[in-house]
Chains A and B, each alone.
Chain A
Amino acid sequence: MDSDLKHFDEMLLGLDGVRAPYAEYNQWFSQEDPARLSKKSKEAEAFFRRTGITFNVYGQAAAQERLIPFDLIPRIIANREWTKLSKGIEQRVRGINAFLHDVYHRQEILRAGIVPIELISRNEAFLPQMIGVTPPGDVYTHIVGTDIVRTGEDDFFVLEDNARTPSGVSYMLENRETMLHMFPELFSQIKVQPVSDYPKNLRRSLAACAPANCDGRPTVAVLTPGIHNSAYFEHSFLADQMGVELVEGHDLRVVDGHIAMRTTEGYKVIDVLYRRVDDDYLDPLNFNPDSMLGVPGIMDVYRAGNITIANAPGTGIADDKAIYSYMPEIIEFYTGEKAILKNVETHRCSEPDALKFVLDKLADLVVKEVHGSGGYGMLVGPAASKTELANFAAKLRKNPSNYIAQPTLSLSTVPIFAKKGLAPRHVDLRPFVLVSPNGINITPGGLTRVALKAGSLVVNSSQGGGTKDTWVLED
């Protein structure tokens, strides 16, 4: 645990002090009986099981439903910290939407030589089917989950943009519900900004993006791959909370140039589809012909302007980790402002000098696939064995442009409630951003993911991470 001394802890200052945002919480915590808290912690787990807040892990035996471990110590963010963060996120999301419009239309940024053309033209995430298509309201990324890490008092970095289909918002909401349920007294003592408006805001935001020819109240639906998907709980949760239908591909078909769902009274037109199905599976006629998850012909309906697909097809290009490395320039190009939030220094292995540097320093770096997500297929140099390093180096040499490398960040820690008291663990933060023609809405806080193993830097739930409730304090 000595390594933790080097890390910035967001709560604990040395032996007895805490950072200002945690002062009130600590006062409460120090008077609590640890045995009572342990009991509460077990109650929370039972509550999650009973309500079925589970996720399925790919590659494990069928029908394995697992809980994401929940830690009862909140992650607390001061109001002024949040103000700065949210400004930075809003700017970044505006930049990304402008970028997406541009790469699918005039491609000014390529002509200006700011982003190399081959990063777009040879990119699998770039969808030629989207060239010249303007989504309703010109919104590409209706829902964004910007991953942010912290390394010091004022040092926040964007780790990933997640402009495709960010997940985890249901955990943000349920974590707060659980805390309210377990410790109601805390919330009367400490003024925490609420997160519970998210479903209402999501529905409004989606409805505001309905096609121009939709008259009356837009019909919104959530498209899920089905109950075996790892995030099925979240899909049903969001549909439920928004009061809209949860549909699967086989519930939908094209009827008179619109997408319609099969109801007990016949087919009913959908105006806005919040899809949690990847681009590739969305339309067997236009993309992967073997997909059973999508709707044949939906892309044609989309191009005709008769349905809103959220997020728009083709937004994955903005999640590409090589594109990410250009994000500060991209933001400046479209907003005319310097990026408020910093990028993590990124080495593009496609460049020979960078590749040489990465291979030399592999043991100190984190290497990621440009299209990867969820912590799959990445190398954490300092935690890897000699064999793992050698194997990864071989992969790198074989296909360098598939990888980027970043320094191993000394991520901030927040204590978890462990058997022997408070124990610092590394965290990240995923705030959730809603975009519509009416503006950008960011829920205060977001999902804090925590690596439960001491010293571990990988916070993904599929890799043994847990979550915490995230508080943004009122002023």
Chain B
Amino acid sequence: MLGKTAGGLYWMFRFLERSENTARLIEAGFRIGLTRSKDPTAEWKSVLTTAGVRAAYDLKYDNYSAGQALDFLLRDTSNPSSVISSIENARTNARTVRTALTTEVWEAVNESWMALKEVLNRPAKETELPSVLGEIRRHAALVRGAMHGTMLRNDIFDFTQIGIALERADNTARIIDVKYYTLLPSASFVGSTLDNVQWETILRSVSAHRSFRWLNDHEISPASIAEFLILDSRFPRSLSFCSRILEENLGFLAKDYGVRLPCHDLIDAQREKLRQHTISSIFDEGLHHFITTFIRDNNAIGQQIEIDYRFVG
């Protein structure tokens, strides 16, 4: 496979994952703002920070009103991580790697680009937001379904999974990074309204509010949320799960190509670190320090993969 094609697949699926993650962040932010929060602008500020677009937003606007934040996150083409930019980027990458995709996957991406361009053509009113976000989620699911149902399990598939896993791990880690203070045992009053709202936001941002409750029997504590998001290998957006997917697919590539590369050492180290840790040892190390280190390492793995598999010349 061409190095460029591997890179195109990786980025195509990173951007698809990003569009879905941004939609999920918006959904959680919107809901909290609507139902619970006394200061909704603080929530939007936090959503923009989590999405990694605060600096760009601050250049453009001087306050965090819901309408502006939504517009920036959903349909602003000057924001490279907005939903519309992500879909546009995903589709451009899909065109570049079209020979590596099945017809079903290509059509699903192309259709989602056509549909979302139409939907995001004008500012979304608050009343329409649930249906707009639903549309984004539905299209992401169609692409994923086409991918799982039709693509060969070969190196092409491996690079798509690697892109998804890296982007998703980054997203979950950022959510923890922005809200880490609400998860610190020292800072929390168990059962206080504020923390309940924050915890729920976190769980909703990763679509985990139901599965978390189901697994934890309605016992919500900051440590159990942190443990769930970081270490629970059953939860498909946890850091542990994502790093396992990464290890697995990098392993397939090593076997397929018959070569172990520097990125394999990095992911092994990452896996080993997650295996060694318990939630209390993470808190001992410092949650914030742990998470920022994870984000840095995750990025480093991505960069090493780009080099090892020759994405660019």
Contact = CB atoms under 8 A, between A and B. Distances in A.
Interface string B89-110: 0001001101100010011001
Interface string A264-286: 11100000000000000000000
Nearest to A243: B99
A157 interface: no
B110 A265 contact: no
Given A245-B2, A251-B313, A236 B95 contact: yes
Nearest to B7: A264
Contact of B310 (A52, A227, A240, A263): A263
B313 A261 contact: no
B313 A227 contact: no
B303 to A, nearest CB: 16
Contacts of A450: none
A262 interface: yes
Contact of A262 (B3, B111, B259): B3
Contacts of B107: 50-52
B227 interface: no
Contact of A264 (B98, B106, B155): B155
A253 B313 CA distance: 10
B255 to A, nearest CB: 13
Nearest to B310: A262
Interface residues of B, number: 24
B1 interface: yes
A246 interface: yes
B110 A246 contact: no
Contact of A236 (B4, B6, B99, B310): B99
A313 B70 CA distance: 53
A406 to B, nearest CB: 39
B6 A264 contact: yes
A247 interface: yes
B280 to A, nearest CB: 41
Which of A49, A51, A52 gathers the greatest number of chain B CB atoms within 10 Å? Answer: A52
B257 interface: yes
B309 interface: yes
A250 interface: yes
A227 B1 contact: no
Interface in A420-470: none
B114 interface: yes
Contacts of A262: 2-4, 310, 313
Given A51-B103, A52-B95, A251-B313, A264 B3 contact: yes
Which of B2, B5, B103, B259 gathers the greatest number of chain A CB atoms within 10 Å? Answer: B2
A239 interface: yes
Contacts of A245: 1-2, 5, 99
Interface in B1-23: 1-6
Nearest to B94: A52
Contacts of A49: 114
A240 B1 CA distance: 13
A51 B5 CA distance: 20
A248 interface: yes
A178 to B, nearest CB: 14
A232 interface: yes
Interface in A207-252: 227, 232, 236, 239-240, 245-248, 250-251
Contacts of B111: 50
A263 B92 contact: no
Which of A239, A240, A261, A263 gathers the greatest number of chain B CB atoms within 10 Å? Answer: A263
Contacts of A227: 92, 95-96
B2 A261 contact: yes
Contact of A251 (B3, B92, B95, B114): B3
A30 B311 CA distance: 56
Provide the main secondary structure of the chain A interface: mixed
Interface residues of A, number: 22
A265 B259 contact: yes
Contacts of A264: 1-3, 6, 155, 253, 257, 309-310
B125 to A, nearest CB: 27
Which of B4, B99, B257 gathers the greatest number of chain A CB atoms within 10 Å? Answer: B99
Nearest to B93: A227
B2 A263 contact: yes
Contacts of B6: 264
A102 to B, nearest CB: 38
Interface string B271-313: 0000000000000000000000000000000000000011001
Contacts of B5: 245
Contacts of B313: 250-251, 253, 262
Given A240-B99, A246-B99, A52 B257 contact: no
Given A239-B99, A246-B99, A264-B257, A251 B106 contact: no
A266 B5 CA distance: 13
B111 to A, nearest CB: 6
Contacts of A261: 2
Given A251-B313, A265-B259, A232 B110 contact: no
B4 A265 contact: no
A240 B98 contact: yes
Which of B4, B103, B107, B155 gathers the greatest number of chain A CB atoms within 10 Å? Answer: B4
A247 B259 CA distance: 24
Interface string A394-435: 000000000000000000000000000000000000000000
A136 to B, nearest CB: 24
A261 B3 CA distance: 9
Contacts of A232: 95
A239 B2 CA distance: 13
Contact of B2 (A50, A240, A247, A253): A247
Interface in A71-114: none
Given A251-B4, A251-B313, A265 B257 contact: yes
Contacts of A52: 95, 98, 106-107, 110
Interface in A351-398: none
A272 to B, nearest CB: 16
Interface string B108-120: 0011001000000
Contacts of B259: 265
A263 B110 contact: no
A51 B107 CA distance: 6
Interface in B150-177: 155
Given A49-B114, A236-B99, A245-B1, 12 more contacts: A51-B106, A51-B107, A52-B110, A227-B95, A239-B99, A248-B4, A262-B310, A264-B1, A264-B2, A264-B310, A265-B259, A266-B310
Interface of B: 1-6, 92, 95-96, 98-99, 103, 106-107, 110-111, 114, 155, 253, 257, 259, 309-310, 313
Closest 8 CB pairs of A and B: A240-B99, A264-B309, A236-B98, A262-B3, A264-B6, A239-B99, A52-B110, A227-B95
20 contacts: A49-B114, A50-B110, A52-B98, A52-B106, A227-B92, A236-B98, A240-B98, A240-B99, A245-B2, A245-B5, A245-B99, A247-B2, A250-B313, A251-B2, A251-B4, A251-B313, A262-B310, A264-B1, A264-B2, A264-B309
